[in-house]
């Protein structure tokens, strides 16, 4: 369903869209810091413009998604909580830059860090258009996502906005050849793929462990766990055993005001 804008275009509010002031988003300071690491001024400006306006137009309809600072990076497997998308970008960036250091300092290879940074920042930037919140608080796909996946959306938008072939390849290949349409064929694309995979796996495994521990310790799985809660639960099992898990989960529920 379109939202009238007073022009020939219509606007579809996918997800939990929050209107921002004209001129872009009040960017999360972590994202702004990462964008600021891009040394090439032209590339830095183009990346910032897309991050500040993460929308796409199809058949005259502009699709608007969740606010970046509220969006998850996954439906259930990894970073599946409010703010998960930005956490994923931050985590993948740290991993990617460490891999760049390995390439340069250990293997004496060359890697374009600007392309790596841009690729990590943009690889999931249109995911907020593909998720919405259900009545029970869980996430589900938007009508747009039922037709076009987030990878196709961002690759199309990168081409439309005139980004380089090298950067478009990085984003296109970030899932790898088994899960995505193409294998990484540059060092920069490989670095971004491995960073994305590692951060997703780290977060997803800890969330999965925390859900299991909460269920085994209390008889009921703790819903909508974020990263901080998940790591706290896993640590409590190591430090204090099952009793520690029970106390930690009960404390989280109490802090949330959950009834159980």
pLDDT digits (tens, 9 = 90+) for 81-117: 989 999 999 999 999 999 999 999 999 999 999 999 9
Q: Is the pLDDT of residue 140 over 50?
A: yes
Q: State the average pLDDT over residues 66-79.
A: 86
Residues 188 and 221 in one domain: no
Q: Both tokens of residue 243?
A: 């009793």
Angstrom distance (rounded) from CA 3 to CA 28: 27
Residues 50 and 111 in one domain: yes
pTM score of the predicted model:
0.85
The percentage of residues in the chain with a pLDDT greater than 90, rounded to a whole number, is 67
Q: What is the pLDDT of residue 139?
A: 87
Q: Is the pLDDT of residue 9 over 80?
A: no
Residues 231 and 153 in one domain: no
Return the number of other C-beta atoms located less than 10 Å from residue 46's C-beta: 20
Task: Among 200, 226, 248, give the residue marking a domain's end.
Answer: 200
Residues 140 and 245 in one domain: no
Task: Among 185, 200, 215, give the residue marking a domain's end.
Answer: 200
Residues 87 and 132 in one domain: yes
Name which of 223, 72, 195, 51 is nearest 145 in CA terms.
72
Q: What is the pLDDT of residue 256?
A: 86
- From 27-31, 49-53, 211-215, the region with the lowest mean pLDDT: 27-31
Residues 131 and 11 in one domain: yes
Q: What is the pLDDT of residues 145-201, one digit of tens each?
A: 999 999 999 999 999 999 999 999 999 999 888 888 899 999 999 999 999 999 999
Q: What is the pLDDT of residue 25?
A: 44
Residues 211 and 225 in one domain: yes
Q: What is the pLDDT of residue 259?
A: 52
Q: What is the pLDDT of residue 118?
A: 98
- Binning the chain into helix, strand and coil, the percentages to the nearest 5 are 55, 5, 40
Residues 153 and 243 in one domain: no
Residues 62 and 84 in one domain: yes
Higher pLDDT, 32 or 260: 32
Domain count, the chain: 2
Residues 16 and 100 in one domain: yes
CATH number, domain containing residue 171: 1.10.3210
Note down the domain range covering 178: 3-200
Residues 159 and 64 in one domain: yes
The CA-to-CA distance between both ends of the chain, in Å, stands at: 38
Residues 31 and 156 in one domain: yes
- From 36-50, 65-79, 178-192, 194-208, the region with the lowest mean pLDDT: 65-79
């Amino acid at each position: 369903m379109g939202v009238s804008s007073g022009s020939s275009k219509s606007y579809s509010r996918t997800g939990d869209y929050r209107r921002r002031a004209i001129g872009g988003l009040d960017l999360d300071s972590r994202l702004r810091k990462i964008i600021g690491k891009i040394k090439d001024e032209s590339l830095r400006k183009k990346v910032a413009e897309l991050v500040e306006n993460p929308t796409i137009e199809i058949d005259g309809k502009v699709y608007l998604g969740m606010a970046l600072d509220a969006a998850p990076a996954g439906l259930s497997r990894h970073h599946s909580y409010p703010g998960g998308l930005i956490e994923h970008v931050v985590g993948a960036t740290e991993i990617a830059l460490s891999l760049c250091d390995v390439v340069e300092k250990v293997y004496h290879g060359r890697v374009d860090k600007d392309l790596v940074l841009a690729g990590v920042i943009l690889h999931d930037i249109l995911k907020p258009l593909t998720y919405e919140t259900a009545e029970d608080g869980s996430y589900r796909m938007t009508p747009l996502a039922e037709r076009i996946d987030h990878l196709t959306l961002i690759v199309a938008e990168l081409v439309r906005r005139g980004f380089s072939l090298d950067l478009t390849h990085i984003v296109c290949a970030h899932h790898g050849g088994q899960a995505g349409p193409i294998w990484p064929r540059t060092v920069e694309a490989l670095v971004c793929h491995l960073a994305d995979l590692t951060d997703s796996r780290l977060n997803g495994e800890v969330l999965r462990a925390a859900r299991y521990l909460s269920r085994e310790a209390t008889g009921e799985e703790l819903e909508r766990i974020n990263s901080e809660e998940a790591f706290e639960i896993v640590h409590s099992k190591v430090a204090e055993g099952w009793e520690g898990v029970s106390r930690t989960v009960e404390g989280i529920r109490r802090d949330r005001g959950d009834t159980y």
